[in-house]
Amino acid sequence: MTNDPLVLDTVTVRIGGRVILDQLSLAVKPGSVFALLGRNGAGKTTMFRCLLGLRRPDEGRALLFGRDAWTHRAAAMARLGVVPEEPDVPLDMTPRALASFCAPLYPRWNSDTFANRLRHFGIREKTPFGRLSRGQKTQVLLAVALCARPEALVLDDPTLGLDPIARRELLAELVRELADNGTTTLISTHDFAAVEGLATHIGVLRDGRMVLTGELETIKASYGNVDADPMRASGDPPASLEEVFNDIVERQRGVAA
Amino acid sequence: MGVMRIARLELARGWKLWLVALGLGLLAAVMSRLTRDSRLTDVCMVGGAVLSWIIAVAVGMSLLGRPLHDGRLAFFFTRPVHGATIAGGKTIGGLVLIVGMQVLFLAPPMMVPPSSYQPGWTYELDGILFAVGMTTVFLAAGLVVGILARSRSRWFMLDAIGATTAALLAVATFAQVNQAQRYAALHEWTWEQAEPMFDRINVFLRTLAITGVLVVFAAVIVAVAIGRTDRDRVHRSLAITLWSSLAVVGVASVMFAHWGLV
């Protein structure tokens, strides 16, 4: 289990007496793209914060590259690219300043790639971060993450708040990167269609618990199975990810009721 | 190295303050030249010093409290940089910014003394050190207030108890210092007899002030390094580290003032 770059081992987090993550376990295999699905408030961001060493779990442990994320955060970050849910770069920092700040921190930083990516998306290097559009901010953060040539990427709902074009561009960029380098990736998103072309594994988080995890194709095949799902006819195409997710949510609702 | 990189970011953010300070300093210098009224110049200088203290509090509050509150501290914590480096870099950046601002404000009137000007407090090293020292104190206060006010966590009771204890210990220390001075007066010491004691009091109070400020800076850095982006955890760490350290310093200072001054 510890060979996996991103691991959560029975992590529990309580905030104000409320259980946010409940004995959550997760292992992202090297080279895989793990899509984390879940409704708002399921605990995705808290899970990411634990994994990034930003929050110490009350129980269990989060591991980055086999070492405790809380105690070895700084060292692990040199090998990890992060795109947060909310762009968090200081608002007055320009992409150029951002690059010159980040370049010495990452041993494999590629300045040319960074400049090219900005140019490709029409982002001026001297525009303060606060004046960029939401999509541009995310593109800058993705550029920072990718130019460090990380061994793993953690993307917390990077398409949130993006218009369809910006979303498509961002995901195309990701697909290209993953195809080129096979970087281990953990991504949370509500964009099922996009994830379907990207993910190799999925996990469904609900009320702080992982209610389903496994290989995407296996899960889709099992949900498209006539025996497993009587509503399906033998000629039906495999279930879409969105159908799988909705089905799981409905089933969980039924269990809870 | 990481510390200086983060400090440079703070300087890049606030360098315009230096221009404003230099402008005000030049204005004060010109005024003192034109009016030849040392009182007006002193008012101007004191006003400038007070303004820089207010700015120091504002800068202190914005260094860590604001990014902690709006989530932007996570940007630094998702880089390969240690927590103490992040907090230390931001603190050093803020310190250089406001001390530089103070120096730029004070320098022009000092370099262009008016012909009829009676040298005031700004021309004495003690006066300058006091102004810069107070700026540092206000920056430290701003750092603490920024974190405590914006975290809005349940640890404020600990702050109330800690602040009260620190204040009581400070009052007790100054009472002991006063008592030492009264002792000299009651026993009708000559200046030669009293001078070593006054020197000790002087050194003691300066050391106490410097230690207090260093404790505050260290507590803030430790709190952010421990709590990272978790506001509640940063507040708790700050409350525990700051007030317990200040209590130790306070008790030590009361004891020294009681037994070590006379």
Q: Does the CB of A106 have a partner CB in chain B at under 8 Å? A: yes
Per-residue pLDDT, B185 = 84
Residue B37: partners with Cβ closer than 8 Å, 6 or more residues away: none
Within chain A, strands assigned E span 6-15, 18-28, 33-38, 59-64, 67-68, 80-83, 152-156, 184-188, 201-206, 209-215
- Give the chain B residue whose CA is nearest to the CA of A88: B72
- Top pLDDT among B97 and A169 is at B97
Residue A24 makes CB contacts below 8 A (sequence gap 6+) with A8, A10, A11, A12, A43, A47, A60, A205, A208, A209, A210
Residue of A nearest to B86 (CA): A74
Q: What angle is formed at CA A10 by the lines to CA A5 and CA A13, rounded to 5 degrees?
A: 105
Inter-chain contact B78–A84, Cβ cutoff 8 Å? yes
CA–CA distance, B262 with B256 (Å, rounded to integer): 10
CA distance A133 to A121: 12
| Helical residues (DSSP H) of chain B, grouped into ranges | 2-14, 16-35, 38-63, 65-70, 73-77, 83-111, 125-151, 156-186, 191-227, 231-259
Q: Which of A155-169, B112-126, B148-162: highest mean pLDDT?
A: B148-162
Residues in B whose CB is inside 8 Å of some CB of A read 1-2, 5, 9, 12-13, 67, 71-75, 77-83, 228-230, 233
Residues of B in contact with A52 (CB under 8 A): 77-78
Order of strands, sheet of A67-68, starting from the edge strand that comes earlier in the sequence: A18-28, A6-15, A59-64, A67-68
Q: B83-108 pLDDT, tens per residue?
A: 999 999 999 999 999 999 988 888 88
In contact, A181 and A161? CB cutoff 8 Å: no
Select the residue from B17, B79, B90 to test the A interface by mutation, using most A Cβ atoms within 10 A.
B79
Residues B129, B132, B138, B142, Cα dihedral to 10°: -140
pLDDT digits (tens, 9 = 90+) for A230-252: 555 555 655 677 777 777 777 76
Contact (Cβ atoms closer than 8 angstroms) between residue B28 and residue B108: yes
The predicted pLDDT at position B184 comes to 82
Q: What angle do CA A163, A168, A171 make, to 5 degrees?
A: 120
Cβ–Cβ under 8 Å, residues A77 and B80: yes
Contact assessment for residue B186 and residue B201, using Cβ atoms and an 8 Å cutoff: no
CA dist., res. A79 & res. A77, Å (int) = 5
Reported in sequence order, the residue ranges of A78-215 that DSSP labels E, i.e. its strands, are 80-83, 152-156, 184-188, 201-206, 209-215
Q: Which of A38-47, A171-180, B74-83 has the lowest mean pLDDT?
A: A171-180
pLDDT of the residue at A152: 94
Task: Find the helix or strand (DSSP H, E) in which A229 lies.
Answer: none
The rounded mean pLDDT for chain A is 86
**The amino acid at A75:** A
CA distance B84 to B224: 7
Distance CA(B145)–CA(B139), nearest Å, equals 10
CB of B36 closer than 8 Å to CB of B115: yes
Instruction: Say whether residue A251 is in contact with chain B using an 8 A CB cutoff.
Output: no
Q: Is A101 left (phi over 0), alpha (psi -120 to 50) or beta?
A: alpha
pLDDT reported for residue A225: 55
Could you count the other beta carbons within 10 Å of the beta carbon of residue A155? Answer: 26
- CB–CB of A51/A8 below 8 Å? yes
Q: What pLDDT, in 10s, does the model give residues B196-233? A: 889 999 999 999 999 999 999 999 999 999 999 999 89
Q: Which residues pair with A59 in a beta bridge?
A: A12
Does residue B28 surpass a pLDDT of 90?
Answer: no
CB-based contact, A74 to chain B, within 8 Å? yes
pLDDT at residue B174 tops 60: yes
CB atoms within 10 A of CB A231: 7
Partner B contacted by A17 (CB < 8 A): no
Q: How far apart are CA A178 and CA A30, in angstroms?
A: 12
**Contact criterion met (CB below 8 Å) for A248 and A223:** no
Closest Cα in chain A to B234: A55
Nearest residue in B to A101, CA atom:
B5
In 3D, which of B220, B80, B86, B227 has the Cα closest to residue B153? B227
The answer to whether the CB atoms of A74 and B72 lie below 8 A apart is: no
Mind telling me how many Å the CA of B239 is from chain A's nearest CA?
Answer: 19
Strand order in the sheet with A209-215: A80-83, A152-156, A184-188, A33-38, A201-206, A209-215
The candidate with the shortest Cα–Cα distance to A157, out of A186, A202, A188, is A188
Cβ-contact B38, B120 below 8 angstroms: yes
**How many CB pairs (< 8 A) connect A and B?**
60
pLDDT at A113: 87
Q: Which residues of B touch A80 (CB under 8 A)?
A: 78
Residue from the list B13, B81, B83 with its beta carbon closest to the beta carbon of A105: B81
With CB atoms and an 8 Å threshold, state whether B229 touches A49: yes
Chain A residues whose CB is inside 8 A of the B80 CB are 74-78, 105-106
Whether the pLDDT of residue B26 is over 80: the answer is yes
- Determine the pLDDT at residue A2: 65
Q: Which amino acid is at A196?
A: E
Asked if the C-beta of A43 comes within 8 angstroms of chain B's C-beta atoms, the answer is no
User: Would you tell me how many other CB atoms lie within 10 Å of the CB of residue A125?
Assistant: 15
A73 touches chain B (CB under 8 A): yes
- Are the beta carbons of A55 and B230 separated by less than 8 Å? yes
| Amino acid A236: pLDDT | 60
- With 70 as the cut, is the pLDDT of residue B114 above it? no
Question: Long-range contacts: A141-144, Cβ < 8 Å, 24+?
Answer: A141/A82, A141/A83, A141/A84, A141/A87, A141/A89, A142/A83, A142/A117, A142/A170, A142/A173, A142/A174, A143/A95, A143/A113, A143/A114, A143/A117, A143/A118, A144/A81, A144/A98, A144/A99, A144/A102, A144/A114
